[in-house]
Structure 1
């Protein structure tokens, strides 16, 4: 390249997940140039989080789970420094965007926007923002302490199905409306001092903009407040949640919106081009859909702290115990989602127990050493109270479906766990009239997608081939892809599929289902159904006692 030739444009994406903040730089060909991360527990031990959160247990009540807001702010300073050390040249960044864990809410104190507008490039971001939040912690998606507020929200519109028709979901404890309602009711001083309420995604976006960023349609769909047909806040639900809420939320915007140029703080401190666009940030699940470039007939499984199933929907569909969001790539269409709290952390716990900390390779070997169907043994493990059903605990069953205290061997327990997790997911899809025959392929992402033995179980249970992305961080890639696509949206640059989504990079076939899998696992779905029916009454009896 000669000095007279313009520098190639680059695009920056971030993903603020439960346990870490990740950053990636890509070029116009969607090739990854630089990537780094900050792990909250180990890199920021002063905040004393465990798995990225703080859990408060009160006897007789469900756990309150939150995260320190300043931890996220400090992590942003750190990730930019680490990317720069990796060789990133921020002056070449034409556009940036991001994703974040869904449903969490950040409460900006009165006057905080003035702080954002007047940041001193000579000081760390977290030092300047120490007093910018009405609450030092943000309730996050693992919080389940808002049951009463969820019930009240459903009652305000005539029931859970009516709420789902408006917002795409019935009232979930982790959703933002219930979190906000609890803060407004129990922590009145915090609510009254709040100038703006952000989702975690729009909070991160606000830091880059130097002013409050709008909530995008896709992440806003996970609040129980957005009418997903009109793309406006529902006045009825705003009133049922908290007083004066509309002013504290601002107006929602399409997910591809360019909200402005980057704050002068980042221009002066890190060398960004002052014309760098800031595209609306969105939730991690919509961002994963963008990162995996799903098409109709695909199902994605994100195997992270939570396990999440999602798919492209042409029309709004009622998903009992699931969610429908506005599609981040096409605001006239939708995406369906089922989220399970008990994902990788449960698998990691059983791995440590059954392999004596020998690691995932041993876990995979033990899983491979047992046959399909596991001799009839099955396990359903819920370390956290599950989202789809109010279940918590370990439930182990023998060949005849009877409850047992323990399995005879570690390898049987490992397969019981893995098969049980995905049989339960298939059961839920079939109950929603989404049969496995409707999927032509599965795209897996997240940490556990590196374990081929787990992916083989998924292929067999769902009777579909499983693909992975070469880069496992689909939410992170989705953020960078959306930055690029929004930048070039009107120039119509880049190859696109018929849905308007970018074509996936590095999609690899990992495994296909065995021919006998369907006849083995279809009866096991019914066995799983019977076991869940046996569990739910026992949970109710335990709670009653």
Structure 2
């Protein structure tokens, strides 16, 4: 399509280390991309990895003005790339989860009166009362304990979908209320990074969306409203007002603000769709349905599951889903992912993945009964210390094992862990299930074959884009616009390619191994 009939959609990803932007067409093809790397492009903020280490042990923060200035820069880079903003029908975005932004009393007035003749960062320089605690912050252990004591650890998990975690916004708010009461009182509104970023586009304090909001230890995932007990445990009677009323992720929060119309040529009726968290956006980008699994194979491995209803997770998190097709989502993060695989590749096969894969092909599925659990770093699911447990077919500790058996034990053990804990979250396999792999290790066909066999489901990779969170932001904008306008879009069909299919004998091999994995996990030490 050409001329005025062309329709495009804009997505942002305010991640930890950079701000990325993407423009897609009606067929969801990528037309333009731009990014700003915080450490390199904005050195005046003195970040390392996009964050600043605080004076207090475990404190990790980021200045919100960094993100504002990055938006100025990425918009200018889109201009240079030749983006025609007048064709953009809708905008949405993703933000790093668990970060909080603390707005000053006059912030909304400033957002409402932005001049297109000046940069955003010069007009919003006094809009924030403090720097933003982010997901890497671990300084709220005492506040997590206090929250679980006030509500009950199991009850908190049932209500909010998660136990209390240091990075979660509820404990972060409690710490601010407890240690910096003047900052708390001077704050008019508290946003998540996602709703903060949305606010910049819509020209007012945007509501927190339910999906990202359910990762705060404050939202009742059943009623989809703030829970009074959790609010009382983390702040005072004003906290509900400071947070505002959460909205469904598919909400159009308003037209784009006049600043972007005047400065960049957006049309005044361009819709701004509620921004959400990066993991929630990744689920939307992978377009997972109930019964599908998103598998992100990165430094850590993350499982994203669409769920038909809420559940109280024994580990991991349950969130409100970002799309109507997945009303709830489960998120499981395994600390020992690609970095652990790489460490043992180096130990067993030098620095070559080809040599490591040769070890795998020298063994059989089921590994002659050898099973292993390898935690090079403390594990999140289950919460366990670093350690290594390698057993033979009789269940005895195996001291010296040939490299090929260790190689397969490592990967089969990881795949079994992903399936076992997914089932604990309520995930059920059926004939419609599929696993969508993304991330750096998703190019390893031998690894994906093991996941296909263990999960008893075919594995696919997405054809369109490696960054599911960024693509998901633009796709959400497009799909919400499509529903609101009654205009179907050809890109709504998911484009994936099959890369691995279960072997016929998988059902004889892996169910017994899954039971063995659960027995082994029961015997290893656990962290509190």
TM-score (norm: length of structure 1): 0.84
| Corresponding residue for residue 468 of structure 1 | 461
Matched, 1:104 2:102: no
Mapped to 1, the partners of 2:510 and 2:466 lie a distance apart of 27
Q: Summarize the Cα distance change of 1:484–1:161 in structure 2 as closer, same or farther, 3 Å threshold.
A: same
Q: Secondary structure at the match of 1:223?
A: coil
- Point out where structure 1 has 5 or more consecutive residues left out of the alignment: 497-501, 541-545
Distance (Å, rounded) in 1 between the aligned partners of 2:477 and 2:304: 22
Question: Quick check: 1:426–1:436 contact (8 Å CA) kept in 2?
Answer: no
When residues 94 and 495 of structure 1 are mapped into structure 2, their CA distance, relative to the original with a 3 A threshold, is closer
The within-5 A match list for 1:196-207 is 196-207=189-200
Structure 2 match to 1:86: 81
Matched ranges for 1:247-326 at <5 A: 247-326=241-320
Aligned to 1:482: 476
Cα distance per residue 1:436-476 (max 9 Å; x no partner): 55762111223332333332222122121101111222222
CA distance in 1, matches of 2:204, 2:48: 31
1:240 aligns with 2:226: no
The aligned counterpart of 1:64 is 59
Match for residue 381 of structure 1?
375
**Structure 2 residue corresponding to 1:21, chosen from 16, 19, 30:** 19
Q: Pick closer, same or farther for the CA change 1:263–1:460 going to 2, 3 Å.
A: same
In 2, Cα distance between the equivalents of 1:482 and 1:355?
Answer: 43
Deviation at 1:511, TM superposition (A): 0.9
Q: Cα–Cα, structure 1 residues 379 and 469, in superposed 2: closer, same or farther, change >3 Å?
A: same
Structure 2 gaps of 5+ residues are: none
> Over the residues paired in the alignment, what is the CA RMSD in angstroms?
3.3
CA distance in 2: counterparts of 1:106 and 1:51, whole angstroms: 19
Q: Which residue of 2 aligns with 1:543?
A: none
Q: Which moved more, 1:259-268 or 1:336-345?
A: 336-345
Any idea what the Cα deviations from partners look like across 1:188-212, whole Å, max 9, x if unmatched? 3332332211111101111112221
Is contact 1:293–1:503 with CA below 8 Å preserved after alignment? no
TM-score, normalised relative to structure 2: 0.87
Residues 1:111 and 1:491: Cα distance change in structure 2 (over 3 Å): closer
Instruction: State the secondary structure of the residue aligned to 2:5.
Output: coil
Check 1:413–1:322 CA distance in 2 against 1; reply closer, same or farther (3 A cut): same
Q: Does 1:224 align with 2:222?
A: no
Distance in 1 between residues matched to 2:190 and 2:335, nearest whole Å:
25
The worse-fitting range, judged by mean Cα deviation, of 472-481 and 91-100 is: 472-481
8 Å contact kept, 1:13–1:24: yes
SS at match of 2:206: coil
Q: How many residues align?
A: 524
- Per-residue displacement from partner, 1:288-329 (whole Å, max 9, x unpaired)? 222222223322223345432232322323322233222222
Q: CA deviation at 1:283?
A: 1.5
**Quick one: structure 1 residues 404 and 15, their matched pair in 2 at CA, closer, same or farther if it must change by over 3 Å?**
farther
Q: CA deviation at 1:69?
A: 2.8
